Structure 1
């Protein structure tokens, strides 16, 4: 057993740009083993190092600003906003429902973060979910609650389908 103090700290876990997604198989997909929040270069367990991904964004209030991008960020940032409105966004997922009129997309969702927001709560990574016409930023617990509510609603839809079947049979 070792007394290495770094083992008690959370690890960075970032992967090399272009290799962020998928399992940590192959030498380019190995995560950074340095403590979370470290500065400068990342290092994996094989000793390979790389610089964090960055993006330069033209802001209204601070001019061009170069910001580090988290591993899950798509790296696309909107120019012409105030720095507090700069967002990191990850890939989106959505539910597509087949209808007689074609597919309808529901519940778009993806990781998001506003690292320079004046609201400290928005600086945390959340999942943005499109509910109705508005995007809602949900934390872990709120997202799990939404998922549980969707399961309950799916049960109600199954009940309605059974009721519809009995009404159709009675006609």
Structure 2
């Protein structure tokens, strides 16, 4: 039996989401992966079309669809290659915060770096746990209007019922999530200084 850590080389942030999925953290999707017990989905509980494990393997959110695996793009000397329809293979620097999934794109302008999404998962009386204010870092380096690193925030338009206790819990979860937003703001400020 090998003493090697099976998650060796996986970024700490992804390991944290993986552990959260295993531990039943309500902010993590944790959907089981077919044929890969012990490697659940590490996405937040916000909507996602594909589940993804700590290694970047993906599977459909709808079980009637066939299983397929998204490959993590290899990084060579800090660069990743993305196949595009209009410019062929395009080499771009791979930031450390990017999760590393780069599917082929029809257009170079659509190449995107995406960070791990953090979300406030709030329990409600009417809909169970509801994700709120999902936030992640994103960069489209070839965008003509906004090529810089920026944060995207997912804000769903819906109303949810709370008891007084539930509302108090929601307030605490939002305070915790505000700390995540502040952390990401500092990370983004450091990236803005670098560019």
TM-score, length of structure 2 as denominator length: 0.40
Highest relative contact order (Cα 8 Å, sep 6+), 1 or 2? 2
Query: Which has the larger strand fraction?
Result: 1
Normalised by the size of structure 1, how large is the TM-score? 0.45
